[in-house]
Amino acid sequence: MKKWISIIGLIVTFYTNGIEFTKLSQFSLSEFYDANHTDLILDADYLFAINNRSLQIFDTCSQELEMISELNLEGILSNLVIKNNFAYVSIADYDLKRIYRIDYTDIENPIVTDTFFFLMVKVLLLVTN
């Protein structure tokens, strides 16, 4: 709560003193980073990124990083692979796992072409003497 009050206080202070903010660009990333996750892939003139909820595609040809499409997906996105005009995005939701295959031939309108479901089976091995 104190954090929000401080942020609101700073915004009010800047606004009343005539300080203006200019948005340079917008880029959303996942809060979850570790060595096993692939969140960004540069392929030709496009940057592919996943955050917690969507695949985002950015045009890297201009000076500004411009998002040209965003595809919301169900689940918590965890990994991204790009191959042959398809993006493969894995979802990690507890014991049910999914992989979306996304066709981005029309870069402004990517579509999910297949969804692969599989269960994570946890095996408990009991060893007795």
Number of domains in the chain: 1
CA distance 56 to 97: 21
Answer yes or no: pTM beyond 0.75.
Answer: no
Q: In this predicted structure, what is the pLDDT of residue 8? A: 72
Of 8-12, 43-47, 115-119, 122-126, which one has max mean pLDDT? 43-47
CA distance 113 to 126: 42
> What number of other Cβ atoms are within 10 A of residue 18's Cβ?
6
Q: Judge contact between 75 and 91, C-beta under 8 A.
A: yes
In a domain, 14, yes or no: no
- Strand segments, DSSP code E, in the chain are 40-43, 46-50, 54-59, 66-72, 77-83, 86-93, 96-103, 111-119
Residue 78: which domain range?
27-119
State yes or no: pLDDT of 35 exceeds 50: no
State yes or no: pLDDT of 36 exceeds 80: no
In a domain, 7, yes or no: no
Which tens digits make up the pLDDT trace of 55-73? 999 999 988 888 999 999 9
In a domain, 41, yes or no: yes
